[in-house]
């Protein structure tokens, strides 16, 4: 029911939110780093939050606080284009709020790690949100993966997936509304909270190891962006068209083909992560490590090496 309710509510309110965004002038206009040809309304994150709120409220109401903070921060960034230092400070506040909202808050060391993970995933989803339907599809699959390895909190994960599936009715190509920074910050924070629920609630390392693969696609894309910018001596916070999906398009793929490739990779990694979560702790950690090393090395070679630049 969490998935169904969230999907129906989000699908119903999204066109209303899109009209409100147009009236308020909160739209994404075409530009040098934009692949769309016409202004598209933001505020999709508002619809997603409205969709997942009821199931989360019934399961883990405390989690709504960091999710709302993430949405508010992203909305401010959509409207005012916040300076990097102020934005990062806000992201840290969101991470701290997320740690405090957990049912079993960890000690100081792990809390710092979880705050860093929240900041990282928040930005990773934001960077992945570059093609119609891409970030929402990848995150919806991640939510299904988390639902498979969580027990009492599975409804929180299903609510995210349901809300994003409802949103995809309007965000699929050609998108009629975008997540915007508000939506991508919200979704990234939600994924971080789900990962934290797995890590703090699991009896052994297997579910935590498998769950790492649920966020591998956005993390891989962000890693590629950072490595390419560092090698080119470009500012790490300066946007470009060097993401994995951008490079696929530059190599002749269609936008839909690049989106489908990323979604397929996410589906495979989620399925593998679910399988790993059912193994013994030692085998799970080993297989996750091997998967990360092999696939990570292949991705870095394909999308950051000098050979890749020449293609």
pLDDT, tens digit, 9 for 90 and up, residues 255-276: 999 999 999 999 999 999 999 9
* Whole-angstrom distance, CA of residue 301 vs CA of residue 304: 6
The full DSSP string for 224-248 is: HHHHHHHHTT--TTS--S-SHHHHH
- What is the tens place of the pLDDT at every residue in 2-18? 999 999 999 999 999 99
How many C-beta atoms surround the C-beta of residue 155 within 10 A?
22
Q: What are phi and psi of 271, to 5 degrees?
A: -60, -45
pLDDT surpasses 70 at 143: yes
| Confidence category of residue 33, pLDDT binned at 50, 70, 90 | low
pLDDT at 233: 74
Structure tokens that stand for 78 in this block: 């959509």
Note the pTM of the prediction, 2 decimals. Answer: 0.93
Handedness of CA 231, 187, 216, 268 (dihedral sign): negative
Structure tokens that stand for 188 in this block: 């990234």
Select the more confidently predicted residue: 310 or 277. 277
- What is the tens place of the pLDDT at every residue in 215-237? 999 999 999 988 887 777 776 66
pLDDT at 238: 67
Closest-CA residue to 6 (of 53, 65, 66, 70): 53
pLDDT at 310: 41
When mean pLDDT is compared across 58-67, 184-193, 238-247, the lowest value belongs to 238-247
Average pLDDT over residues 247-252: 90
Structure tokens that stand for 123 in this block: 């930005």
pLDDT surpasses 70 at 246: yes
Q: In DSSP terms, which residues pair with 41 in a beta bridge?
A: 27
* Whole-angstrom distance, CA of residue 74 vs CA of residue 240: 20
From residue 261, give the alpha-carbon distance in Å to each of 177, 204, 258, 296, 307.
22, 33, 5, 16, 21
The full DSSP string for 24-66 is: HT-EE---TT---SS-EE--HHHHHHHHHHHHHHHH-GGGHHH
What is the overall mean pLDDT for the chain?
91
Structure tokens that stand for 238 in this block: 């300066």
pLDDT at 26: 86
Closest-CA residue to 44 (of 173, 171, 130): 171
pLDDT at 74: 95
* Whole-angstrom distance, CA of residue 303 vs CA of residue 293: 15
Structure tokens that stand for 146 in this block: 């988390």
Average pLDDT over residues 114-122: 96
305 sits in which H/E element? none
DSSP summary character for residue 311: -
pLDDT at 107: 87
Cβ atoms of residues 284 and 206 within 8 Å: yes
Treating both helix axes as pointing N-terminal to C-terminal, what angle do 108-128 and 216-231 enclose, rounded to 10 degrees? 80
């Amino acid at each position: 029911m969490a998935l169904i309710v969230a999907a129906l509510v989000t699908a119903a309110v999204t066109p209303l939110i899109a009209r409100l965004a147009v009236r308020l002038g909160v739209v994404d206009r075409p530009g040098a780093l934009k692949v769309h040809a016409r202004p598209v309304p933001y505020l999709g994150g508002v619809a997603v939050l409205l969709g997942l709120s009821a199931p989360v409220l019934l399961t883990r109401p405390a989690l709504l606080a960091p999710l709302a903070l993430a949405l508010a921060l992203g909305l401010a960034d959509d409207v005012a284009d916040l300076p990097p230092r102020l934005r990062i400070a806000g992201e840290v506040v969101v991470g701290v709020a997320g740690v405090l909202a957990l049912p079993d808050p960890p000690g100081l060391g792990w809390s710092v790690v979880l705050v860093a993970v929240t900041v990282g995933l928040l930005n990773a989803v934001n960077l992945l949100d570059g093609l119609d339907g891409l970030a929402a599809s990848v995150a919806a699959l991640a939510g299904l993966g988390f639902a498979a390895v969580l027990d009492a909190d599975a409804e929180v994960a299903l609510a995210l997936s349901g809300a994003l599936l409802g949103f995809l009715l309007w965000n699929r190509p050609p998108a009629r509304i975008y997540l915007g920074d508000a939506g991508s910050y919200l979704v990234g924070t939600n994924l971080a909270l789900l990962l934290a629920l797995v890590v703090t609630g699991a009896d052994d390392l297997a579910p935590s190891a498998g769950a790492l693969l649920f966020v591998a696609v956005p993390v891989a894309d962000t890693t590629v962006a950072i490595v390419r910018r560092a090698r080119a001596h470009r500012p790490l916070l300066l946007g470009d068209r060097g993401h994995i999906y951008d490079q696929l398009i530059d190599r002749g793929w269609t936008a839909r083909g690049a989106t489908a490739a990323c979604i397929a990779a996410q589906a495979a990694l989620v399925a593998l992560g679910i399988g790993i979560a059912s193994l013994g702790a030692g085998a799970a950690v080993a297989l996750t490590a091997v998967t990360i090393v092999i696939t990570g090395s292949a991705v870095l070679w394909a999308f950051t090496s000098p050979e890749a630049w020449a293609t």
